[in-house]
Structure 1
Amino acid sequence: MADDWFHHLSLDIQTEILKKLPVKSLIRFRSVSKAWRSLIDSSKFITDHSFNNRRTGPNRLLLRYVDETKGSDFEYVSIIDDDDDDDDDDDDSLSQKEVIHTDTIPMYDDILVDKPYSIIGISQGLFCFYNFYESTTSVIWNPSIRKSVAIKMPNNNNNNMLYRPMEPAIGFGVCPRTSDPKLIWITSFQNWKVEVFTLSSGTWRSSISSCNWPPERVIVINSKQVDLDGFIYWYAWEIVYVDDDDDVGGKKKLLNNCIISFDLTTEEFKQVYLPRKLLAPNFLTNPAINVTISKLRDSLVVVENTLVVGEQVYGVWMIKQHGGGSVSSSSFTKLFTIGLGLPDACIESVLGFRKNGRPILEVKSIIYGNGNGNGNGNGYGNVINNLSDMVTYEHTNNSKQHISHLGIIMYGKRVISFVSSYVETLLLLDHH
C-alpha cells in the first residue's frame, strides 16, 4: 500500500514519479488502487514510460539456448548488463541472472512446440517469433510483463524449398513516433511485394508506394535483423553483372552483399553500401566467407566470418554514420578481429555485444576421449564436440586475449544460441 503522503501529491506529480519506476514495480502497483491501475494501463503512460526507460533504464541481455541434458526446449535467461570495463575476473559481471518462463507465449498453430522457430527481431523490449517452414502465425512477446499477442501472417505462396528459408523476409520493430509495433512482410526473389501490419489497426496493408522500395536487383535475405534508432536493417544481396573471363563479350551474374534499411516512421527503404572487402563473395560462392549484421552499443556493425588456416576468424566493422539513409562504403571502419588461436576450442558464432562493447561468443570445446577402445589412433581417442560455452572476449592493447565466462554451459550436438540486448517495457499491457 502506498504511503499516505504520496496520495496527497497531485496526480501529475504521482505520474512523473511512477514513470521513473521499473516495470515490475509498476505491475505490482496496479493493485494499489483503481486510479493507479487506470493510469498505468493507459496508452499515454505506457508510451511515456517506455520512452523514459529506453533512455535511463538498465540494459539487459536475453540469452536463449538449448541444453539437451534437460530436453530439447529452449531456455531463456535475462541478465542485467552493466557497463563495467574494469572486471578482470575469469567470470564476467553478469551475476544477476533471471530464468524467464515461456508459459505466457501462446502456442497458436503449435508454432513454438518442437519446431525450428526463429526470433525475427527485438524492438523496445518486445520480441517477435515466427516459424518460416510451417506457421501462419507470428507471436509478439513481452517477457517483462509476461504477455504475448498472436498475429495472423499473410499467405506464403513460395513453394520453392531452395528459397523458402530465406523468403519471405520479415521485419519487426516499434515505431518510435507512435510506439505502435509493426511487422513488415517482404517477397523479393521474383517480384517485389511489401505488406505492413500495425498492432493498433490489427490489419495488413500493401499501400507502401513502390517508389520507396529498393531496386528490383536487391534481394532481402531472411536472416538476423537489427533494430536501431527507429530503423530495421536486413542483410541482402544485390544482383550485379560483370565481364565473364570464360566468355568473351559475355556477362556473368554475381550476388554482392549489401544492407537494406526500413524507416519505421516514414516506411521508406534505403540501401547501405558495403566496402569492397565485404561485398563478395558470400556463402553461395565461397562457403568459407560470410557476413552478418549486429548492433554494438548504438551503432550498426557488420561481422565478417573468414576461415583462416582451419580457424574461424571474425572481423568487426562499424558504420560511422547511420540513420537509415543511403550510406556509402567509406562510412565503415574495421574495429578489431576476433580469433582464439586455441587448439582445444573454436568460435561457433558471434552472438552479440555487451554494453561495454565486448563481443559475446559461442565457443565449442574440443574434448578428446581417453584413447582406449575406439580411438582415432593419435593417442587422444575420439573427438567429442558437444560442449559449448557463452563467453565474452576482449583483445587488450598488449595483444593478449581475455575471455570471461557467462556461466551458460550448453550440452548437445546441435546448440541454437541467441543473445540480444533489450530494456524492460510496458508495451502490450494495454492490448486486449
Structure 2
Amino acid sequence: MIADILSRLPVKSLLRFKSVCKSWHCMITDSSLGFQALHYDRSQRKPRFLLQWPDFDFRPLEPAGCRYVYNFISIDTEGNMISPIQVKVQEPVKLILPGCYGLVCLATETRIHVFNPSTRHLIALPTDRGEIAGFGIGYLSSAKGHVIVRLNIPRQSRTSLSWKLECSVFTFLPENGGPKWRAVKDGCPYLVEQFSFPAFANETIYWKIDRGKHQALHRHNDFIVSFKISDEKFQTITHPTDWRPETHRQWRSPVRNSTQLVELRGHLYMVETAAFSYVAVWKLTDPGNSMWSKACTIDISKFHPSFVGELQCVKGTEIIFNSFTHLLLYYDEENKTSRKKILPCSAANLTIYCESLTFPATQHV
C-alpha cells in the first residue's frame, strides 16, 4: 500500500522522503525491489518537456572546468512550468536526445553526457578514440540498466566510406577496473545521420541512414539502421514506400523535407512532413521484414509552415508537435481539430522525458 501511494509522487518529493526511515530509503533507492519501475510506469502517463532557453552563459574562468552553463525549464504537456534546471558542461552541446527511461543524452564534439532531469544527476562518459559518427541510448529491461551505444568512423577508413562503422557499448557496471566502452564485434553497415535524433523502441535503437553519403545501398530503399541491444545485432530497414531516387540530390530525403523517427506507444514510428502540405505517420509493425502500416495522414496545409515541427508525443487522442516558434501544436486524431499553446521561448529547443529515479552515477549538477 505504501509503495503504491509513494509511486504516484514526483521525484522531488521522493528524494526528500528517503530520509523518513530506513525502509523507505531502501524501497526508493533499490532498483531490484521494483518500486522504481512502478514509479516510471506511472510517470509515462504524464511525460514532461525540457525547454531550453535560446542562449547560454559562457564562463571561461569557472574553477571546476565547467565552461558552459545551460538553462532549461521543465514543463508539462500543457506547457505549464514545473521547475528550472541548470546543466554545466565543458563544451557546447550539439544535440540533446529524447529521454529514455528517465535519462537524456547531451552530445558535444568529443563526449556524451548522461543526465537525469528529475534527480539532477549528471555524468560525462569517458572519451574514446575516434570521431563520433552517431550515438544512442537504450534500456535493457532484463538487466534493469541503460545502454549507451556509440558509432565511430574507423581510422583506416577516413577516406573510404565503404567501411563499416565501429560500434562500442558503454556499461555502468564496474568491470575490469571500472566503467568503460566495450567494442561490439559486428560493425554498423551504413553511415548514419550524425546529429539527427535516433529513436528507441522495443529494446532497439534506430538511426536514419545518411543517404547523402551512400550512392550504392544494399537495397535501393534502405532507410534505417537498427541495433537490438539485447543481442547486439545490426539490421537495415527499408522505407515504407518503394522509393527510388531519380537524381543524386534526392538521396538524402525521399520527401525533400523532414523525416523523423520517434517512439510512440511503445513502437517505432516514422513521421514525414511533405512540402508543408501534409504529415504522414507510419508505424513499424514487423522490423524483421520491414513491414509498415499507415497510422494517419494529417492535412497541415491550413497551418503556417513554422507551426509544425517535430512530433513529440501522444496524449490521449492528441498528437503534440513542437514548432519553430513559441508554440506547441495539438492535433486531435479523432476529431481532426487542432489547438495551440504559447510557450515562454522557442519550442524548437524541446526534449521529451519522463520522471525517473534511475541513475547509474553519483555526481549532481
- Name the residue aligned to 1:361: 321
| Structure 1 position 227, deviation (Å) | 1.5
**Mean CA deviation greater in 273-282 or 422-431:** 273-282
Write out aligned runs for 1:222-301 (5 A).
222=194, 223-237=196-210, 239=214, 241=216, 256-276=221-241, 280=245, 282=250, 284=252, 288-301=256-269
CA distance 1:15–1:394, shift in 2 (3 Å):
closer
TM-score by length of 2: 0.77
Question: Is residue 145 of structure 1 aligned with residue 119 of structure 2?
Answer: yes
Of 331, 334, 341, the match for 1:393: 331
Contact 1:282 1:291 in 2 (8 A): no
Describe how 1:64-83 pairs up with structure 2 within 5 A.
64-67=51-54, 75-81=71-77
Encode CA deviations 1:167-187: one digit per residue, 9 max, x unaligned. 511111222211222211113
Q: In structure 1, give the amino acid aligned to 2:340.
A: H
Please name the residue that 2:138 is paired with: 173
Instruction: Output the CA distance in 1 between the equivalents of 2:312 and 2:192.
Output: 21
Q: Whole-Å Cα distance in 2 between the matches of residues 56 and 316 of structure 1?
A: 30
Change over 3 Å in CA distance of 1:287–1:75 after alignment to 2: farther
Q: Distance in 2 between matches of 1:186 and 1:15?
A: 40
Q: Does the CA-based 8 Å contact 1:41-1:430 persist in structure 2?
A: no
Report the counterpart of residue 87 of structure 1 in structure 2: none
Work out which of the residue numbers 351, 358, 362 in structure 2 matches 1:427: 358
Quote the sequence identity (%): 19
User: Of residues 327, 334, 349 in structure 2, which corresponds to 1:417?
Assistant: 349
Change in Cα spacing, 1:331 to 1:269, as seen in structure 2 (3 Å) is same
Q: Structure 2: which 5+ runs fail to align?
A: 59-67, 154-160
Deviations 1:387-421 (A, max 9, x none): 54222233665xxx63322231536xxx742242x
Match of 2:271 among 303, 315, 327: 303
Q: 1:123 to 1:407 in 2, by over 3 A?
A: same
Cα 1:356–1:257 change in 2 (3 A) is farther
SS of alignment partner, residue 32 of structure 1: coil
- Write the letter of the residue equivalent to 2:265: R
Q: How many Å separate the matches in 2 of 1:74 and 1:294?
A: 25
Question: 1:320-359 counterparts in 2 under 5 A?
Answer: 320-322=284-286, 325-328=287-290, 330-342=291-303, 346-347=306-307, 349-359=309-319
* 1:101 and 2:85 correspond: yes
User: 1:7-57 CA distances to partner (integer Å, 9 max, x unpaired)?
Assistant: xxxxxx756765565433321111112443344333424xx2232233333
* Aligned equivalents of 1:178, 1:304: Cα separation in 2: 34
**Other-structure match for 2:41:** 55
Letter in 2 for 1:392: Y
User: CA 1:178 to 1:282, structure 2 compared with 1: closer, same or farther past 3 Å?
Assistant: farther
State the AA in 2 paired with 1:425.
S
Q: Output the amino acid matched with 2:282.
A: M
Asked if the contact 1:351/1:418 (under 8 Å) is kept, the reply is no
Task: Please state whether the residue corresponding to 2:15 is helix, strand or coil.
Answer: helix
Is 1:185 paired with 2:159? no
Alignment of 1:221 onto 2:193: yes
Query: What is the TM-score with the length of structure 1 in the denominator?
Result: 0.66
Tell me how large the CA RMSD over aligned residues is: 3.5
- Superposed CA offset, 1:228-266 (max 9, x none): 232211111464649xxxxxxxxxx99745112222222
Deviation sequence 1:202-239 (CA, Å, 0-9, x none): 11111x232xx45x3x3222210112232211111464
3-state SS, counterpart of residue 227 of structure 1 = strand
Deviations, residues 76-122 of structure 1 (Å, cap 9, x unaligned): 343444xxxxxxxxxxxx264313312xx342xx22xxx24211342
**What residue identity is the alignment partner of 2:318?**
R
CA distance in 1, matches of 2:361, 2:145: 12
Whether the aligned pair in 2 keeps the contact of 1:180 and 1:200 (CA below 8 Å) is no
Classify 1:68/1:204 alpha carbon distance in 2 versus 1 (closer, same or farther; 3 Å).
closer
Offset from partner CA, 1:318-346 (integer Å, 9 cap, x none): 22525xx4232x4232511341435x653
Give the AA of the match of 2:343.
Answer: I
Structure 1 304/402 Cα, relative in aligned 2: closer, same or farther at 3 Å? Answer: same
Equivalent-residue separation in structure 2 for 1:139 and 1:199 (angstroms): 13
Unmatched 5+ stretches in structure 1: 1-12, 82-93, 158-166, 243-252, 365-386
The whole-number CA distance in structure 2 between the counterparts of 1:298 and 1:174 is: 13
Structure 2: which amino acid aligns with 1:50? Q
Contact 1:220 1:236 survives alignment (8 Å): yes
Structure 2 partner of 1:319: 283
User: Quick check: 1:122–1:173 contact (8 Å CA) kept in 2?
Assistant: no
